[in-house]
Amino acid sequence: MAVRASLAIVSGAVLVAGVGYLGSASYALSFAEEKTGLATRAIANAGGSGVEVRFANRLGITRHPVLSGGETLDEGTRAQVARSVAAIPGVGGVFWADGTLVAESDVPTFTPMHCQEDVEGLLRTRTIRFEEGSAALTAASRALLDEVAEALRPCLGSIIAVTGHTDQSGAEATNLLLSRERAIAVREALVQRGIPRSGLRAEGVGSAEPAEGLAPTDPANRRIDFSVIRTEPLKPTPVDTPGAR
What is the CATH classification number for the domain harbouring 184? 3.30.1330.60
Query: Do 63 and 131 sit in the same domain of this protein?
Result: no
CA distance 212 to 226: 16
Q: Is residue 244 part of a domain?
A: no
Q: Look at residue 187 and tell me whether its pLDDT is greater than 80.
A: yes
Q: Using 50, 70 and 90 to split pLDDT, how confident is the model at 14?
A: very low
- pTM of the entire predicted model: 0.50
Tell me, what DSSP letter sits at residue 109?
A: P
Give the model's pLDDT for residue 162: 92
Which amino acid is it at 33? E
Mean pLDDT of the chain: 76
Report residue 160's pLDDT band, with 50, 70 and 90 as the boundaries.
confident
- Which residues fall within 8 angstroms of residue 115, CB to CB, at 6 or more apart? 151, 152, 154, 155, 158, 228
| Domains: count for the chain | 2
Are 185 and 130 in contact by the 8 Å Cβ rule? The answer is: yes
In the predicted structure, residue 95 carries a pLDDT above the cut 90: no
234 within some domain: no
| Residue 239 placed within a domain | no
User: Do 68 and 119 share a domain, yes or no?
Assistant: no
- Please give the single-letter amino acid code of residue 24: S
Between vectors from CA 38 to CA 54 and to CA 19, what angle results, nearest 5°? 70
Residues 142 and 219 in one domain: yes
The pLDDT of residue 222 is 82
Domain enclosing residue 209, as ranges: 112-228
CA distances from 192 to 140, 197, 227, 244 (A): 16, 9, 19, 25
pLDDT bracket for residue 92 (50, 70, 90): low
Checking if the pLDDT of 218 tops 80, the result is yes
Same structural domain, 137 and 172:
yes
Report the pLDDT value the prediction gives residue 102, as an integer from 0 to 100.
Answer: 54
pLDDT of residue 2: 47
What percent of the chain clears pLDDT 70, i.e. is strictly above it? 73
